Amino acid sequence: MVRQTFPWHVVFFLAPAVLIYSLFSALPLIDTLHLGFYTSDDAGLNHFTGLSNFRTILFDQTWSTAFWNAMWNNTKFFMIHMLLQNPIGLLLASLFSLKGLKWARTYRTLIFLPTLLSVVIIGFVWQLILSPLWGVGEKLMGYVGMADSFAPWLGQPSTALLSVALISVWQYIGIPMMLIYAALLAIPEEILDAAHAEGASGLRVFWEIKLPLIWPTLGLVTILTFVANFNAFDLIYSIKGALAGPNYATDILGTFFYRTFFGYQSQIGSPTMGAAVATMMFLVILIGVGIYFFFVQRKLTRYEL
């Protein structure tokens, strides 16, 4: 439609969304990235200091140890999700999307339930189960004759991060499962029927037809997991507190950011240092998203139907 007058209606349609999004999401993000280059004095005034905050985070002994510890823990946290959450999600989705399977909807509905609940609730639930005080975990392991191998996993530095990651996997498995399930549903029936008619086994159909067709979804699941993991906070804060103990064994970028911004114990919080940490997190996520868009997605779209 060609209109001569200024298209006020277009402005009317776009203004609310663009305003709220800009004011409370886009501009604060840009402002945070900007604030990372400043430092505030005792009077609360900000002074430009160039890259000095980043130099502190990366090269000052105390800061860099904490930062790289959080970064490394976060990487392990992500790898555990990639090794367990997504493959198990794929397995479950492929099983209950099999044609003619009874109770498929019931399985799907029930397995998705934990994903709906708050991370905080889930964190406490598992904390109780793993608590040596209550002894449920020990009792359960006793049924399979392994009561002796029970240990306070959440409290030991060597196992705390793995335990927290497994709790997170247990909770969020529903997301990859559902995304993959949706992708499997979208595969045209004729292709599968043709393969079966040719006598291909179920396993072969999975490896040679289904899996290549859902690569784009697996790529999407990977990047969503990456962004969610490198932005995680709630679970560790509710189980281990802002100090991410024992001895920072479960510290990830989210908890490190929170402590830097708000302070803890003797250290005073600093918005500008917090902004610098947020900038580092932004860069990590940007690199991940960049790799996804420029390499993974471009390569994968070829397989799309």
Positions 185 through 214 that interact with other proteins (CB under 8 A):
185-186, 196-197, 200-203
Out of 82, 84, 112, 162, the residue judged to bind other proteins by CB under 8 A? 112
CA distance 163 to 285: 24
Out of 65, 118, 247, 267, the residue judged to bind other proteins by CB under 8 A? 118
Out of 51, 101, 194, 287, the residue judged to bind other proteins by CB under 8 A? 101
Residue 78, C-beta contacts closer than 8 angstroms, at least 6 positions apart = 225, 226, 229, 230
Site for other proteins in 235-254 (CB under 8 A): 237-238, 254
Stretch that binds other proteins, among 18-26, 53-61, 63-71, 155-163 (CB under 8 A): 18-26
Q: Does 108 bind other proteins (CB under 8 A)?
A: yes
The Cα angle at residue 289 between residues 287 and 292, in degrees rounded to 5 = 110
Nearest to 126 by CA among 153, 88, 86: 153
Q: CA 82: distance to chain centroid?
A: 10
CA distance 204 to 45: 66
Site for other proteins in 24-83 (CB under 8 A): 24-29, 31-32, 35
Which residue, 40 or 159, has its beta carbon nearer to other proteins? 40
Out of 51, 95, 146, 287, the residue judged to bind other proteins by CB under 8 A? 95
Which residue, 158 or 207, has its beta carbon nearer to other proteins? 207
Residue 44, C-beta contacts closer than 8 angstroms, at least 6 positions apart = none
